[in-house]
A and B are shown apart, each in its own frame.
Chain A
Amino acid sequence: MINYFDPRQQKHTDLGTPASLSETLIKIEINGQQFSAPEGSSIMRAALINGVKIPKLCATDTLEAFGSCRLCAVKVEGRRGLPASCTTPIESGMKITTADNEINKFRKNILELTISDHCMDCLICPANGNCELQDEAATAGIRTIRYAQDKSQSSDTADSSNPYFSFDPTKCIVCSRCVRACDEIQGSFALTMVSRGFDTTLVSGADDIMSSECVSCGACVKACPTSALSEKSLIEMGTPEKRVETTCGYCGVGCSLAVDVKDNEIVRMVPTNDGAANSGHSCVKGRFGFEYATHSDRVTSPRIRDSIDQPWQEVSWDEAITFAAKRLKQTQQRYGQESVGVITSSRCTNEETYLVQKLVRAALGNNNTDTCARVCHSPTGYGLKQTLGESAGTQTFESVLDADVILVIGANPTDAHPVFGSLLRKRLRQGAKLIVADPIEIDILKSVNTLPSIHLPLKPGSNVAFINAMAYTILIEGLEDKLFIEKRCEPENYAIWKQFILEDRNSPEAVESFTGLSASLIKQAARQYAQGQNAAIYYGLGVTEHSQGSTMVMGIANLAMLTGNIGRSGVGVNPLRGQNNVQGSCDMGSFPHELPGYQSVEDDNIRRSFEQMWGVKLNPEPGLRIPNMFDAAIEGSFKGLYVQGEDIAQSDPNTKHVLKALSSLDCLIVQDIFDSETAKFAHVLLPGSSFLEKNGTFTNAERRINQVRKVIEPIAGLADWEITMALSTALGYPMNYESPESIMEEISQLIPSFEGVSFDKLEQLGSIQWPCNSEHPDGTPIMHADTFSCGLGKFQTTEYVPTTEKVNSRFPLILTTGRTLTQYNVGTQTRRTKNSVWHDKDVLEIHPFDANERCIAHESKVVIESRSGQISLVARHSTRMQPGVVYTTFHHPVSGTNIITTSNCDWATSCPEYKVTAVQVKPESSQQAVKE
């Protein structure tokens, strides 16, 4: 049975206008009663926080006060007329009347006017029962409209171009909440009102919403007080019966979403204002891209087969689990205890990931566990641990609102972490300065109403040279924070590092040829970063997915320590993590050398505490990483793999190599919600459950543990944690957790930084940022405040070593890869939604100079060839590229992007060098001509 979370008990009261940041309380009198409220509050907010109701239509507490509907009029002693309470700030001793005959009559008149221009089809309206205008009219007791409605909003501007929502002008009350949400929250400025007076109507900045700047985040739809802007699914399905609050299953932002359900079907998802990571915002994926969860492609029953050339046989759960366990055991019997391993999923919950790594260590007796963080942020874990002492980002997302200078390196926040991207843009509009180090002119550089930004279009693979030159400049110009270094950092490390950095080869002039950046530009960026009051660094896979990924992460941490930008709001080192629970899967002990909580498996004391809890002797030898597993498989010593929710055949580099490894396995168990590319090589396919089908927790990029709540029953009958329990039990190591909550109880006893975490506390606080322990009972929003996790911060020497993946006359271009807003990773989910309307294929972006040199026409087919293989894509001329660099995404399996990526990887963590592949691009026609 589903235990629904009942939101009615703590329904968010819309306080009308945003909170005042002031801590000073001032006294006011409302309707003869004494109250107090923070200075700078509107009368409306002051009244509402004190429980005095004031009607409103254009005001909502996620948007700045606008004062257009006039419904919230009140009386203020000593002032003329009826000021709008939303736009009038309180003053000490102010005497306010919120209702009397005159005010009530005025409000009735305002509502009457509004309704006189509004369609009266309440009974057949999708917002029936959920309409603010309807509520206010009912409260005011509107019984008749005295005006003839000869002229009303026409339906001329109706717009249903977006696949997920539509605009019906006959329901529009011109409150501009949609326009303001688009401007203030999303920062896209896609909507506006046009015409004057009575003819004022909403339009997008183009022929229709789809062809405008709209990114389909849904903020306008959420802001609409009527059904003028409405989800198409809501229009079609009707009023939901239940609302369940959970956490988005896409990226590492970890947005809190409310899922509206009817008849066990999802009507819509709406971001919740209480969500600490997203404060009520969402993106096109989380908000609308949920259709995949109930897609007909879902695997609904377990499948087994003896060999991969046989067809699948659908079997019962018991049979499948028995088959899988037996096969794993046989493999171990034949090839040894170390011949099998697991890959945990960054898409599953903390509790589920924890169980899988526990299974390999406790039931299979080795440490062959790894996770997809291997191919994304493993260098973050390593690099930050080496320097700051903890494998995680230092800040909350909200911290960016205190940053004065924001340095974005190798990340594309508006596409890959859109909700954070919007928050960043908001800060830029408030006047923060932006520096972007990225080979591509990414969209954050095209933000509206911001100061000019610095773009450092560096060559892929030159990150470390660049960051060293930044540090060199700061030191040479004496811009370092001497006090911070002296107080907070290890002096010996610093001295060694300083001596290294100040060598001539690290000067901006010396690295010009590697980075392609002029020395003056680097100096300008370095000064801006160092001189900012609060300077924050945000980075992504453009930092980690390199042969020197770990070095670069340390270089970033060095730079932050050098300038004292650690330990308070507005600063920090912030990895933007790709997947909903990639932080969590790392925290939960998915790595072969670390038990949960980044505790070394080689440490006897640590192992002993786990042994005690788990009741089994643990293997002290670190296990295999994913690339090692592949190599060992090809070599013949690694024969069995249990993969939880990851399509490694698609997502890992050098596909040819991966496929060879997978086909060498004797036992491949894939647990996934779809029949994936990897499953083609599997002997057992266990149908997984989507994030909507289970309880548990995800941990986002700011170390925030968010609750995941079951919305619908698991489509195939079992949640992933139940599957892993069954498999472990069948392997002879029984697991008998009653619920994910009891798994978390165990986790909190084993991981010191999770000591205070419990489902009860999560329910109470909404979310918790680890470390959560006796020292920080409510969690730790900002890390390293007074001291680093490792005591003193450690500067690490970061020698620039160019990648061996070099361009030459045969492969003269560098291919780099990234993501686009509407698709997610290898597209397993988003390709099964209407999001493909925006991005139905991966394309190769190429600078017109390179294209013309190769006679490649815009939108023509090309062949891309690397040292590893070749693929074919459509080329698109794009000036956001620099000459010499081409770019593509990897959302569609048919593109086979990873066929051409190489086996090069980070020296410390084996994270693949996805971001640098030397390629040649040719028109497909010429290729054919050559063949013929």
Chain B
Amino acid sequence: MNIKVFVPQDSTALSLGADQIARDISRHIDQHNLNVELIRNGSRGLFWLETMIEVSNSNGRVAYGPVSPEDVPSLLASGLLDASPDHALFLGDPELIPYLKNQQRLTFARAGLADPVDIMAYRNKGGFSGVEKALQLTSQQIVDEVKTSGLRGRGGAAFPTGIKWQTVLDATPIDNSKQKYIICNADEGDSGTFADRLLLESDPFTLIEGMCIAGLATEATKGFIYVRSEYQQAQEKLESAIEIATQHGLLGNNILQSGRHFHLEIRRGAGAYICGEETALIESLEGKRGLVRVKPPLPALEGLFQRPTAVNNVLTLAAIPYILSQGARAYAKFGAGKSQGTQPFQLAGNIKQGGLIELAFGITLKQLIDQYGGGSLSGKAIKVLQVGGPLGTYLASDQWDIPLEYEAMSEQGAVLGHGGIVAFDSEVKMIEQATFGMEFCVQESCGKCTPCRIGSQRGKDLLVDISDSQNVQQNIELLEDLCDTMAVGSLCAMGGMTPNPVLSALKIHQHDSLNQASNTHSENGDF
């Protein structure tokens, strides 16, 4: 077997100099006329070890990391291409790294293994088996399978995917055309999240296969992937993946000689967070300003161009091939309560071992931080975690025992969202975080509904005054009243959930202030 050296080409590795590393290794291979194949794979999501180089030969596969371009000469000298263990960055078999070994990778099983657009490698690792299974089923049977799996929307709203698909399947377009659509929401904009990007850059065929199955399930023949504007690398990978998938019959007319059709196009966003909201996304896809639509009508009945449309997150669609190939029950075995299957958690912020951790629902935040996070990057104690993106609640350490699943989080006034977890150390100023919560809404509100459009600005003004210790009690009362209005009256989650980070941060701030006061008091007492 040939020797293969893998240098990831995903955005994280690229930002750490992976291209330089690849060039240097390539030059070395050429200069020495070695029989070594350089492969640009995707990342496995162990970002704290990036750039993680892997070498495979007949003995297996070993990893080195984190490699910076400066390490390349010493690595090569110490026998990198012979998979030599004689280097400080040698990690051994990557599959045995506990961070990876302890995960339950269903959706991300193939991430980082190969060139992301190598369709043969994809097929060899079980690719296509989901769609092949789906082609043997009726649309209703596919929908039933997804219902049985318990899969819920991974974008944050956690709506049961099977029910959404059922609605689309049952819907008749108002113009009596047969046209229905699948939209993949790849406008990943939550702070501290990167799972969509990782999948698009490391294993795009899984998403394509998932969308194809979604099309078969709902009788939609056209799909769009709405990619966040900043995801240049992901878009390029997707483009070639779609082209290759079409050549290999996974897309286009007559999918795998079945007589069924599914066409896929990429649309690039224009930099608006709100376009991650499904109706604003649809407006944007239609070429309009990204404005939130009222519901009803549901997009499942009147979505893109007023036709029945399933809008699903990347992670939702990417979970589908596994569910079809391994069966709904195999998927549903994972998870807890009404949160079935796995969730790709994303650890970010002030954390030592940031990366993607796919696990069954139910693990606690504490376990996740302790077993995977490895403490803060700064070395100071981790003080709060914000879970579920910029609209997620700040959780102090006394709340870290909540199992990470939808209902349990909801009971605590928190959300799981897209599975992003951002860590802050003891230096964080919570009043600034609260202000930022409103500020974010000021920046990103679509501007349609009054509570979000004006409320966010007024909320920000109030928090600036509170920070400056002006009429604190009165302003906090008004802020709470405002947050109530925003939560109850906003058109979508943007304004509706902004009170989550604002009020939770404010609460921790108030708690801190009290503690500080009592500490000062007791110090004074001591004095």
Contact = CB atoms under 8 A, between A and B. Distances in A.
Interface stretch (A147-155, A698-706, A919-927): A147-155
A151 B461 contact: yes
Given A110-B489, A148-B461, A198 B444 contact: no
A669 interface: no
A196 interface: yes
Contacts of A109: 481-482, 485, 489
Interface string A54-73: 00000000000111111101
B289 A193 contact: yes
B443 A114 contact: no
B152 interface: no
A148 B491 CA distance: 24
A300 B299 CA distance: 64
B76 interface: no
A147 B458 contact: yes
Nearest to A198: B457
Contacts of B441: 197
B488 A106 contact: yes
A113 B454 contact: yes
A105 B276 CA distance: 31
A82 interface: yes
A219 interface: no
B272 A196 contact: yes
B453 A198 contact: yes
Contact of B294 (A87, A116, A176): A87
A773 interface: no
B451 A70 contact: yes
B289 A110 contact: no
A117 B455 CA distance: 10
Contacts of A193: 289, 291, 447
Interface in B395-442: 441-442
A82 B447 contact: no
A192 interface: yes
B461 A114 contact: no
B294 A196 contact: no
Nearest to B494: A197
B304 to A, nearest CB: 14
Contacts of B447: 174, 193, 195-200
A197 B451 contact: no
B445 interface: yes
B456 interface: yes
B175 interface: yes
A147 B443 contact: no
Interface core residue of A192, A193, A198 (most chain B CB under 10 Å): A198
B485 A106 contact: yes
A84 interface: yes
A51 interface: no
B43 to A, nearest CB: 32
Interface core residue of A68, A73, A114, A117 (most chain B CB under 10 Å): A68
Secondary structure call for the B interface: helix
B485 A68 contact: no
A827 to B, nearest CB: 39
Nearest to B295: A87
Interface residues of B, number: 37
B446 interface: yes
B74 interface: no
A82 B449 CA distance: 14
B274 interface: yes
B437 to A, nearest CB: 14
B448 interface: yes
B478 interface: yes
A70 B465 CA distance: 27
A81 B495 CA distance: 14
A814 B444 CA distance: 57
Given A146-B478, A196-B446, A116 B458 contact: yes
A491 interface: no
Interface string B115-144: 000000000000000000000000000000
A113 B451 contact: yes
A732 to B, nearest CB: 68
A532 interface: no
Interface in A112-171: 113-114, 116-117, 146-148, 150-151
B448 to A, nearest CB: 5
Nearest to A84: B294
Contacts, number: 104
A198 B443 CA distance: 8
A620 interface: no
B371 interface: no
A67 B453 contact: no
Interface string B447-483: 1111111111110011001000000000000100110
Interface core residue of A65, A71, A110 (most chain B CB under 10 Å): A110
Contacts of A84: 294, 491
B457 A197 contact: yes
A147 to B, nearest CB: 5
B488 A198 contact: no
Contacts of A69: 449-450
A116 B478 CA distance: 14
A766 interface: no
A81 B488 contact: yes
A739 to B, nearest CB: 51
Interface string B206-228: 00000000000000000000000
B259 interface: no
Given A196-B272, A196-B446, A197-B444, A70 B453 contact: no
B296 interface: yes
Contact of B289 (A89, A113, A192, A198): A192
Interface core residue of A117, A150, A197 (most chain B CB under 10 Å): A197
Interface string A80-103: 011010011100000000000000
A106 B489 contact: yes
Contacts of B272: 196
B473 to A, nearest CB: 14
A421 interface: no
A475 to B, nearest CB: 29
Contacts of A81: 488-489
A68 B289 contact: no
Contact of A113 (B291, B296, B455, B491): B455
B281 to A, nearest CB: 15
A869 interface: no
B489 A198 contact: no
Interface in A25-84: 65-71, 73, 81-82, 84
Nearest to B464: A150
A431 interface: yes
Nearest to B470: A148
A193 B291 CA distance: 10
Given A68-B448, A70-B489, A113-B485, A196 B454 contact: no
A757 to B, nearest CB: 41
Contacts of A68: 448-450, 491
A147 B463 CA distance: 12
A151 B485 contact: no
Given A87-B294, A106-B489, A196 B274 contact: yes
A193 B446 CA distance: 10
Contacts of B458: 113, 116, 147
A110 B491 contact: no
B13 to A, nearest CB: 33
Contacts of B481: 109
B311 to A, nearest CB: 19
19 contacts: A66-B448, A67-B294, A67-B491, A68-B448, A68-B449, A70-B491, A81-B488, A89-B296, A110-B485, A147-B461, A147-B478, A148-B461, A151-B457, A174-B453, A197-B456, A197-B457, A199-B447, A200-B453, A431-B175
The 4 closest A-B pairs by CB, nearest first: A200-B447, A197-B445, A67-B294, A198-B457
Given A70-B491, A73-B489, 14 more contacts: A68-B491, A69-B450, A70-B489, A81-B488, A106-B489, A113-B454, A113-B455, A113-B485, A116-B458, A147-B462, A174-B453, A193-B289, A196-B272, A197-B446
